[in-house]
Amino acid sequence: MRQRVIDRRRSLRQTDSAKIEARRGVKLVIADDHKGLRAAARRVFNATHQRCRIHWMRNALAHAPTKQRMAVAAMLKTIFAQETKADAETQWEVVADALREKQPKLGALMDASRDDVLAYMSFPREHWAWIASTNPPERVNRELKRRSDVIGIFPNDEAIVRLVGALMLETNDEWAVARRYMSLEALVRITDNPPSGCPPWPPDQPRTSPKVGAHTPSQGT
């Protein structure tokens, strides 16, 4: 009995260590404006919270008069057109000051949300289009829902894991090779783990797996 308790405690410690190791690589959590998610990003992952830029834009325009929304949207877009985060922060203040007098609620929103909305600009520029909003993960979620709706009822949990796991592996390969969602070279600059020394996979050579039963030539004589 005592040995079982010791083994159980050792297993729990290993599980906790694995969870901590998995969290360690998280740098950015992209979500909407939820206090719980923002706190979890900081406390659980020790990561930066990025507020979805598209949803923030909708929230901002809701504070502007209907007839002026096109002009306000054009002003707000000048912020995200900047080349650096410092320039974007400067332009943010310029736009906020210009709108504050006639749209005080919009000005207050901009004062409270600048850091969360511009958090993505602290990362490599080639990633900005992918990490500024929740659109990419939302597309994955829609595909998961579409695939699962076809089956309807799963016989057990393992069947769900197989389907979702296969789809996530497919998505990972598509993002890593076909669409190059994020370049390995840029990820190396922000990772906690040192590079392995292996050259990155050429983007024009998709990965292929050997076919079952295919003859593999032996090496040596």
- Confidence check: pLDDT of 198 > 60: no
> For residue 28, which phi and psi values (nearest 5 degrees)?
-145, 135
pLDDT value of residue 214: 46
pLDDT value of residue 43: 83
Average pLDDT over residues 140-165: 88
Nearest partner of 56 among 6, 103, 118, judged by Cα: 118
| Phi-psi category of residue 197: left, alpha or beta, with phi > 0 → left and psi -120 to 50 → alpha | left
Which residue would you say has higher pLDDT here, 96 or 27? 96
- Let me know: does 130 contact 30? Beta carbons within 8 Å: no
* Residue 86 amino acid letter: A
- Confidence check: pLDDT of 147 > 50: yes
pLDDT value of residue 64: 93
| Residue 174: Cβ within 10 Å count | 13
CA pair distance 17, 29, nearest whole angstrom? 21
Percent of the chain scoring above 70 in pLDDT: 69
pTM over the 0.75 mark: no
Tokens found for residue 120: 């993505």
Q: What share of the chain is helix, strand, coil (3-state, %, to 5)?
A: 65, 5, 35
Mean pLDDT of the chain, nearest integer: 78
Label residue 179 by pLDDT band (50, 70, 90): low
pLDDT value of residue 4: 54
Average pLDDT over residues 61-68: 93
